[in-house]
Amino acid sequence: MLMKRKIFNALAVAGLLAGFSYPAFSATAVPGDLGAPQGAPIQAVLTSPPNVPPPIDRKYPARVIVNLDIKEVKKEIADGVTYDFWTFGGTVPGSFIRVRQGDTVELHLTNPPDSHMPHNIDLHAVTGPGGGAPLTLTSPGHEGVFTFKALNSGLFVYHCAATPVGMHIANGMYGLIEVDPPEGLPKVDHEYYVMQGDFYTAGKYHDQGMQGFDMEKALDERPTYVLFNGREGALTGDNALKAKVGDSVRLFIGNGGPNLVSSFHVIGAIFDRVWDGSLKHYEENVQTTLIPAGSAKVVQFNTPVPGTFLLVDHSIFRTFNKGALGMLKVDGAPAPEVYAPGPVTAMAKAKTAPAAPAAAAAASGAAVQSSTAAPAHDTSTHAQAAGKPADLVATGKHVFEGICAACHQATGGGIPTVFPPLAKSDFLAADPKRAIHIVLNGLNGKVTVNGEHFDSSMPPLGPQLTDQEIAGALTYVLNSWGNPGGHVSPEEVAAARAPTSAH
C-alpha cells in the first residue's frame, strides 16, 4: 500500500514537472464530467441504515464534503451473541452517502486513537487506482483525505481495503454511495437502505456470548451468519421496514460479501423495476435479482396489498437457518380484488359451519411457504372419520407437519424473532383454549413467548382446515415436546367458529 502510494505521488510530481497542470484539461472533455464545482462547499448528509439521505434536487455540480468516522464496536450480531465489528460510522453497513453526478467529493476518513487497526476506503464510485484506498490508509489517531469527481451515476459499494482485506470486509467495513443522475430519480414514497453480508464466527449459529472471527470458515466460504444490516433481526419485528397500501418503495440494496452472491427476493412482491449500473435503464418485472459480492442494485415495487412481506436471500437456507431475513410491513385496508383466500367451495362450507371472515386473511402477508398447506387436504377424509383423542393426535400430527411446521418447525422450536416456539410455550400453556381462536382467525401484533418478543403475523387457518383438523393439530401440540397435555375437541372448535350464532 505504502509502495503504491509512493509510486502514485511520484507520478503526480512527474506529471507536474512535465508541465501538465490539471486545469489545463478542458473540464467537459472527460465523459460524465459536468464542469467545475459551483457555490460554497456542501456538507453531505449521512444516514444510518435503513435510512437514506434525501434525494438531491440541486441543479449544478458542487464540492461535497463527506466526513466518515471509523468505529470499531462490540455489538450483538444475534440475540445473546456479540461480535467485534469494524465499521464506517458505527453501523453495519456504514453510513449511506449520497451525491450528484459531477460532484467533486472531498472525503475525510478519521480513525480514532482507540482503534486497533489501520483502515482505508475504496469506493466503487471512484475513477482512479484503488478507488481511493491508497490515498486514505489511516492509522489510529489519524485522518486520511482525498478528492474524487463522481463521473458515473449509479449505486456503488464502498469498503475497507486494508490488509487482510477479506477480514476487514467480513467484520462489517462496507456501505453504499448513491450518485444521483443530474435529473434525479423518479419520486417514490419510501427509500430504504439494506445490505447483505456474510459473517464467520468461531462458534456455531446462535452459540451465545462473545464470538471471534474464524479465518478458516472465511477461507472455506462457510459463513455462520448471512445477514441483512449486520444483525439478525435488524429488519424484523419492530425494526421492519414500513409502508402503506398504495405506496411505492425503493430499496437501495447492496451486498458487501465478502464471499457470497445474493439471490435477493421479496416474498409476495415483484420488482417493477431493477436498476443495475446506469440509472437510465432498468429491467421490469423481476422476481429475484442477483447481487454479486461488492455490488448493489436499486429495486422498486408498489405495495397494493397489506401484510408482511419477507426480504430474503432465495438461497433459502441462508434465510431460515443463517439469519438473512428482513420484513416490510404494509399497513392498510385489504385489497381482496388483488389477493384473497377462497372462493370457499360448497364442500368446505359443509365441513366448516359458518364461513370465517375470509377478507381478514387477505390482510395477512405471512403466507410464507403456503404451498405446504396442500397436504392437509389429503387428511380431510380421514379426519372426518376420526373422533377419539388417539385418532385426533394422529390426524393432528399430519396437519401439524403439513401446515404448522412450515413456520413453527417440525420440532415446535419456531424461528427466533419470527415464528414463536410451540414447544414448552408459556403463552400456549397459559391459555390453551385461546389457541383455538389463534388458529381460526390468525394472530397479529406483539406476543411474548418464553421471554422472547414477536411482532409478526400468523394467517387465519379457519377457512382452510376442518374442525377435526384444528382440534387434532392443537391436541397434538398440547401432547408433544414436553407441553402440559390436554385435549381440544372438534365441538370446541365448531363453537369457537361461531361465537355469536345462538340459534
459 binds ligand HEC (CB under 6 A): yes
Cα separation, 37 vs 28, in Å, equals 12
Alpha-carbon distances of 452 from 211, 324, 483, rounded to whole Å: 22, 19, 18
Q: Determine which residue in the list 58, 124, 159, 168 makes contact with Cu ion, applying CB under 5 A.
A: 168
Helix 467-478 vs helix 490-497: crossing angle, to nearest 10:
120
Q: Which is nearer to ligand HEC, 165 or 406 (CB)?
A: 406
Applying CB under 5 A, the site for Cu ion has a residue count of 5
Residue 317 Cβ, how far from ligand HEC at the closest point, in Å? 18
173 binds Cu ion (CB under 5 A): yes
Q: Residue 92 binds which entry of Cu ion, ligand HEC, none, with Cβ cut-offs from 5 to 8 Å by kind?
A: none
Cβ contacts of residue 441 below 8 Å, gap of 6+? 356, 357, 360, 460, 462
Q: Residue 459 binds which entry of ligand HEC, Cu ion, none, with Cβ cut-offs from 5 to 8 Å by kind?
A: ligand HEC
Amino acid at 69: D
Binning the chain into helix, strand and coil, the percentages to the nearest 5 are: 25, 30, 45
Cα separation, 68 vs 107, in Å, equals 7
Q: Which is nearer to ligand HEC, 123 or 465 (CB)?
A: 465
H-assigned helices in 317-433: 317-321, 346-352, 359-362, 375-385, 389-399, 405-408, 426-430
309 binds ligand HEC (CB under 6 A): no
Residue 173 Cβ, how far from Cu ion at the closest point, in Å? 5
Cα separation, 208 vs 409, in Å, equals 21
Cα separation, 6 vs 13, in Å, equals 10
Q: Residue 443 binds which entry of ligand HEC, Cu ion, none, with Cβ cut-offs from 5 to 8 Å by kind?
A: ligand HEC
Residue 82 Cβ, how far from Cu ion at the closest point, in Å? 19
Applying CB under 6 A, the site for ligand HEC has a residue count of 32
Q: Which is nearer to Cu ion, 161 or 404 (CB)?
A: 161
Q: Determine which residue in the list 266, 393, 458, 488 makes contact with ligand HEC, applying CB under 6 A.
A: 458
Q: Which is nearer to ligand HEC, 36 or 438 (CB)?
A: 438
Q: Determine which residue in the list 81, 366, 393, 496 makes contact with ligand HEC, applying CB under 6 A.
A: 366
Stretch that binds ligand HEC, among 93-101, 161-169, 242-250, 439-447 (CB under 6 A): 439-447
Residue 228 Cβ, how far from Cu ion at the closest point, in Å? 21
Closest by CA position to 36, among listed 45, 46, 44, 26: 26
Q: Determine which residue in the list 123, 245, 299, 368 makes contact with ligand HEC, applying CB under 6 A.
A: 368
Q: Cis before residue 93, ω within 30 degrees of 0?
A: yes
Cα separation, 226 vs 251, in Å, equals 19
Q: Which is nearer to ligand HEC, 71 or 424 (CB)?
A: 424
Q: Which is nearer to ligand HEC, 222 or 433 (CB)?
A: 433
Cβ contacts of residue 334 below 8 Å, gap of 6+? 305, 306, 340, 359, 360, 362, 363
Residue 61 Cβ, how far from ligand HEC at the closest point, in Å? 49
Q: Residue 322 binds which entry of Cu ion, ligand HEC, none, with Cβ cut-offs from 5 to 8 Å by kind?
A: none
Residue 111 Cβ, how far from Cu ion at the closest point, in Å? 9
> β-strands 190-199, 247-257: how paired?
parallel
Angle, vertex CA 331, rays to CA 304 and CA 371, nearest 5: 65
Q: Where are the beta strands (DSSP E) in 41-102?
A: 42-43, 63-78, 81-88, 97-100
438 binds ligand HEC (CB under 6 A): yes
Binders of Cu ion in range 128-167 (CB under 5 A): 160, 162
Question: How many CB atoms are closer than 10 A to CB 410?
Answer: 11
454 binds ligand HEC (CB under 6 A): yes
439 binds ligand HEC (CB under 6 A): yes
Residue 275 Cβ, how far from Cu ion at the closest point, in Å? 29
Residue 149 Cβ, how far from Cu ion at the closest point, in Å? 24
Q: In the structure grid, which three cell numbers stand for residue 184, read together?
A: 434525479
Q: Do 489 and 393 contact (CB within 8 A), yes or no?
A: no
Angle, vertex CA 248, rays to CA 242 and CA 254, nearest 5: 70
Q: Which is nearer to ligand HEC, 85 or 476 (CB)?
A: 476
Stretch that binds ligand HEC, among 41-49, 145-153, 159-167, 457-465 (CB under 6 A): 457-465
Cα separation, 481 vs 404, in Å, equals 15
Under the rule (CB under 5 A), what is the footprint of Cu ion? 119, 160, 162, 168, 173
Under the rule (CB under 6 A), what is the footprint of ligand HEC? 366, 368, 403-404, 406-408, 419-422, 425, 427-428, 435, 438-439, 443-445, 447, 449, 454-459, 461, 473-474, 477
